[in-house]
Amino acid sequence: MMLPICTACGTQYSESAQAPVQCVICEEERQYVPPRGQTWTTLQALRQTHTNTFREYENGIIGIGSTPPFAIGQRALLVRTDDGNILWDCIATLDDATVTMIEGLGGIDAIAISHPHFYTTMVEWARAFTAPIHLHAADKQWIMRADPAIELWDGETKTLGNGITLVRCGVTLKAEPCCIGPAG
């Protein structure tokens, strides 16, 4: 059994004997299937070819990205607050060095994801840090790997209780939460 990861968008799917024929995320109109067609990898294989780098954008905001870039080149942000750290969006690569580095920075108390192109290996991240994943209920259909760590929220805002409020914005026919900002 394997947990396949789409190489085009980075989404990890539920455990199966073989990879899906197509990626639901890539088939959606805002993404694409590369000319080479749909291909798959696993987290174990990704750990052999990719590492993560960290960049402090400003005090309390640390970017985490895969090197070389993977999938659509996602970048996650570790938002550090006095009340705990929040991972904003996910990237597919998660290895022991990344876990050690983030634990040294105080760990992750919650994961919030702007939209399905950043779901990647969110379950792996949640399990590594024993953190809940906050997803807007409007995007439930895009969850390709269900897990008890996933907490769906409704409405226009959700306060995480540590000075951070999630805001559902960019409302369209396929509304997705896409912003994070200070509570207030």
Number of domains forming the structure of the chain:
1
Q: Is residue 178 part of a domain?
A: no
CA distances in angstroms from 161 to 55, 71, 82, 106, 137, listed in the order given: 26, 32, 11, 17, 19
Task: Tell me which amino acid residue 67 is.
Answer: T
3-state class (DSSP) for residue 125: helix
What strand order describes the sheet that includes 164-167? 157-159, 164-167, 179-182
pLDDT digit string (tens) for the chain, length 184 residues: 899 999 999 999 999 999 999 999 888 887 788 888 899 999 999 999 999 999 999 999 999 999 999 999 999 999 999 889 999 999 999 999 999 999 999 999 999 998 888 999 999 999 999 999 999 999 999 999 999 999 999 999 999 876 788 999 854 444 344 444 444 4
Boundaries of domain holding 37: 5-154
Q: Is residue 126 part of a domain?
A: yes
Helix axes 122-129, 96-104, angle to 10 degrees: 50
Q: Is residue 173 part of a domain?
A: no
Q: Which long-range contacts (CB under 8 A, 24 or more apart) does 154-159 make?
A: 158/134, 159/183
Q: Is residue 164 part of a domain?
A: no
Query: Which token pair is 76?
Result: 């996650």
Q: Is residue 32 part of a domain?
A: yes
Q: For the chain, what's the residue count?
A: 184
Q: Is residue 162 part of a domain?
A: no
Contact between 17 and 1 under an 8 Å Cβ cutoff? The reply is: yes
User: What's the pLDDT score for residue 160?
Assistant: 87
Q: Is residue 165 part of a domain?
A: no
Q: Is residue 161 part of a domain?
A: no
